[in-house]
Each structure stands twice: as C-alpha cells, then as structure tokens.
C-alpha cells in the first residue's frame, strides 16, 4: 500500500498532498511504481502478484509463460466477439533500469507526487505508465459494457532493459505467442516536450561490437614496434571519425532526427597488466545504433576495412548484432495505421512519425512479421527515461488513459482483412 502523505518521505494513498481524493488510476500507477522490478535483481514475483490481482478485478483470464529460467511473460486476454480475427497486442515490460539515488529528489521507488502533480519514480515514463493506462482504459471500457470483434491481449514481459531482451526475443518464437494470432501491436514510445505526440514505426539496429588488437609485448621503457595500443588508437580514430561525420549530418540537417543517423559510442577499453609492461592485446567496445535505411552488409564491410587498415591480426566479435530491418506501414491506405492515425486526428493530436533511436521489444514483434507502433501518450513532457528524477505529471497520465479508451475500440474493430474470414 502507499503511504498516507506525499512529500520527501513517501507517496500518497487515497488523498494527494493537497488533501484531495486521488484518482484510483493514479493510486494504482503509484502502487505499481513502488514494486522494485529494478535490475540487477528485479522483483518479478511481486509484479506477477500485482498483475494477478488486476486480472481478477477486470475479470480477464491470465496466463504465465516461463520463456527462460526465472523469466516469465504474463498474458491477459479480453476475448473479442469474433476470436477468429487477428488480435490486437498491447505490450509492456515490467523491468526498470537502476538508479543513482543520490541524484534524486525523492526515493526513486516511493512514487512521490509533488504539489504540481508530478509523480517521481523509476518507470514513470519507461514504461509503467503505459501498462497502467492499458489496464485502466480496458477497465473503463468493460465497465461501460463495451465489447469488440477483435481479441485484445496484454503482454507483460521481463528483461527488456538488459542486452538481448530475452523476454520478448524468446517469446515471439514460443508456441504460446503463435496462439495469440496477433495482427497489430502497440508498444512503448517516448515522451515529447512539445505539443506533438511521437509515433515510432521502426527502430535502429543495435550492434555491440568488441575489436581485439594484438600487438608486440615488451618492457615499458622501450619503443616497441607494432604495439596493441597503436592499433587500438587507429581503430578508435576510425570509429570516432565516423561518429563525428554522423553527428554533423544530424546537426546540419533539419530533415534528420536521431533515429535517421548512425550513432557510435565507445563504451569499454580493456588491456594491460602493469604500468611497465606493454600489453600483448587491447580491446575496445562500441555501441552502434544503425537506421533501417543503411545497408548492413556494406556497413560491416566498412568495419572490416577499418580493422585491416589499423594493422594485422585485428579481429572483432559481436555481443549483439540485430539484423532485421522491418518497419511498419504509415500509409493511410493501411487499415491498422488508418485506424490509429484517424482516431488520433479526431482527438486533435499532432503525430510526429520517427524511427526509434534506441531499441524496444517492438523490433522482435516486427521481425516476426507483425506491424507494431511505438507510442506513449506523453506530450508536453521532458524525455527522462533512464535519467535522474524521472517523472510524469498525473494530468498527462490521466489524459493518456482517455487516449487509449479511444484507440482500443478503433483498433479492435478494424474490418476483417483478406485471409481472416
């Protein structure tokens, strides 16, 4: 349960810090934020207990699938009046990234709401808000006696925030996922500090690469030739020179967003055993994010050329190398996009279409052949995912529920497509 009062010591219960009765949706959101599904030891069991309670409240059947040891995907289902039609998938992840508590105004897991209605907590934007907005929109629609032709599935997946995304990556190849018969999916997006709402129809490909540079060892007092450090410097220069060119493209073109260029960041350097010993090998690692328009085979050939130019014996390996480059249609003739965009237009929402700059579970959904849109209804909000003092205003949160109350009926009544009936 939430503490009774707001402020530095904790969150709020049925009343907010001004003594007003708090919306039940907001109280549920703040309760979910207090569940510490934070890496490296996320409390997934507590999250499943929370979701089990919700499924009972909503009267929706729930299933849990262990996709790998200790990692469970939870599924709730609102069966449609015509279950033979392809379903709508509402995906969210339960885990959140670690915090540096010393940089936060409040306890990052207390769900404190300040006098302006800003709710602070890890996961407020990424992405526990969307989870509760899905749930509350369905609660309101069911309470109004609504039913729709297409089935709606809610999936709650683990380990989105760690390399490899083992939750959804494994689940899309599971027989239980195939049984969901998904036709279209919604997943997370980003906040937008302007009035617009950002919509993501594709993602950049994450490549995590380590380049190994062997060299001649020796005593630190000598000018040894062909050292690992010399090769390392050349490799670093090649990657970082390319980084600078891409940064300039982004900075000098009004047409480009971050998702349209390749980012390169050097993240780790390893090597050496002592101050006076020239190492026999040094490694450098990079995080690359590559937009769908780039030819990946040609890009890897460029990496091979950088290695060959830097010296003999240099090798590389990938810790992550995602190759599918699927994007979702945003053509008005596409029935799914038309249902989504026309509903937003009817609510006077300005949509800004982009390639997602990082990586979400949507990439695995799209790779399986299912159209997916990344969307979090958070406009007029600074982008604070993974940042200190992550927060979401309760007014923005509540408006997001209303958005989904309009979107879900539109998506779940998309007319049957060829092959569905």
95 labelled catalytic: yes
Paired sense of beta strands 197-203 and 118-120, if any = unpaired
Helix ranges (DSSP H) in 223-265:
228-252
Closest CA to 291 of 259, 327, 318: 259
Contact between 355 and 201 under an 8 Å Cβ cutoff? The reply is yes
Peptide bond into 340 cis (omega under 30): no
Closest CA to 355 of 261, 285, 271, 263: 261
Tokens read off for 145: 């006696």
Q: How many of the other CB atoms lie within 10 Å of CB of 365?
A: 28
* Among 95, 161, 354, 390, the one annotated catalytic: 95
Helix ranges (DSSP H) in 87-224:
128-143, 166-171, 175-179
Spatial separation of the C-alpha atoms in residues 151 and 82, rounded to whole Å: 7
Closest CA to 413 of 148, 181, 89, 153: 148
Closest CA to 29 of 133, 122, 161, 105: 133
Contact between 343 and 410 under an 8 Å Cβ cutoff? The reply is yes
* Among 6, 16, 22, 160, the one annotated catalytic: 160
Paired sense of beta strands 182-187 and 118-120, if any = unpaired
Closest CA to 64 of 131, 128, 158: 158
For residue 35, give the DSSP letter: S
Contact between 116 and 6 under an 8 Å Cβ cutoff? The reply is no
Closest CA to 344 of 418, 297, 410: 410
Give the 3-state secondary structure of residue 286: strand
Give the 3-state secondary structure of residue 353: strand
268 burial via Cβ count (<10 Å: 0-12, 13-18, 19+): exposed
Spatial separation of the C-alpha atoms in residues 341 and 84, rounded to whole Å: 25
56 labelled catalytic: no
Q: Give the H/E segment covering residue 213.
A: strand 205-214
Task: Show which residues are catalytic.
Answer: 95, 160
């Amino acid at each position: 349960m939430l503490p009774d009062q707001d402020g530095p010591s904790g969150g709020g219960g049925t009343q907010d810090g001004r003594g007003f009765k708090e919306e039940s949706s907001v109280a549920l959101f703040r309760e979910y934020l207090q569940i510490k599904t934070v890496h490296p030891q996320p409390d997934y069991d507590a999250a499943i207990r929370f979701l089990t309670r919700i499924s009972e409240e909503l009267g929706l059947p729930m299933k849990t699938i262990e996709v790998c040891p200790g990692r469970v995907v939870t599924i709730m289902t609102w069966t449609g009046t015509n279950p033979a039609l392809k379903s709508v998938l509402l995906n969210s992840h339960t885990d959140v990234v670690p915090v540096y508590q010393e940089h936060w105004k409040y306890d990052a897991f207390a769900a404190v709401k300040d006098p302006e209605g800003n709710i602070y907590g890890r996961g407020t934007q990424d992405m526990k808000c969307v989870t509760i907005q899905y749930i509350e929109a369905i609660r309101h629609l069911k309470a109004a006696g609504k039913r729709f032709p297409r089935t709606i599935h809610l999936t709650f997946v683990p380990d989105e925030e760690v390399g490899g995304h083992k939750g959804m990556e494994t689940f899309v190849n599971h027989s239980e996922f195939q049984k969901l018969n998904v036709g279209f999916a919604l997943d997370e997006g980003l906040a937008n500090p302007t009035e617009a709402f950002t919509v993501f129809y594709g993602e950049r490909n994450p490549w995590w690469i380590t380049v190994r540079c062997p060299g001649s060892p020796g005593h630190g007092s000598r000018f040894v030739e062909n050292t690992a450090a010399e090769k390392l410097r050349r490799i670093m220069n090649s990657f970082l020179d390319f980084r600078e060119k891409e940064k300039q493209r982004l900075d000098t073109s009004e047409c480009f967003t971050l998702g349209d260029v390749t980012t390169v960041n050097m993240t780790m350097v390893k090597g050496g055993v002592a101050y006076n010993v020239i190492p026999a090998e040094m490694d450098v690692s990079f995080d690359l994010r590559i937009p769908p328009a780039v030819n990946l085979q040609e890009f890897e050939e460029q990496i091979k050329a950088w290695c060959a130019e830097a010296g003999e014996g240099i090798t590389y390996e990938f810790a992550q190398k995602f190759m599918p480059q699927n994007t979702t249609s945003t053509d008005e003739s596409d029935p799914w996009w038309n249902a989504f965009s026309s509903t937003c237009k009817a609510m006077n929402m300005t949509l800004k279409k982009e390639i997602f700059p990082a990586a979400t579970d949507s990439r695995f959904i799209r790779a399986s052949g299912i159209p997916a849109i990344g969307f979090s209804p958070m406009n007029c909000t600074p982008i604070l995912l993974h940042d200190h003092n992550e927060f979401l205003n309760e007014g923005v949160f509540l408006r997001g529920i209303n958005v989904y109350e309009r979107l879900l009926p539109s998506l779940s009544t998309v007319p049957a497509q060829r092959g569905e009936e």
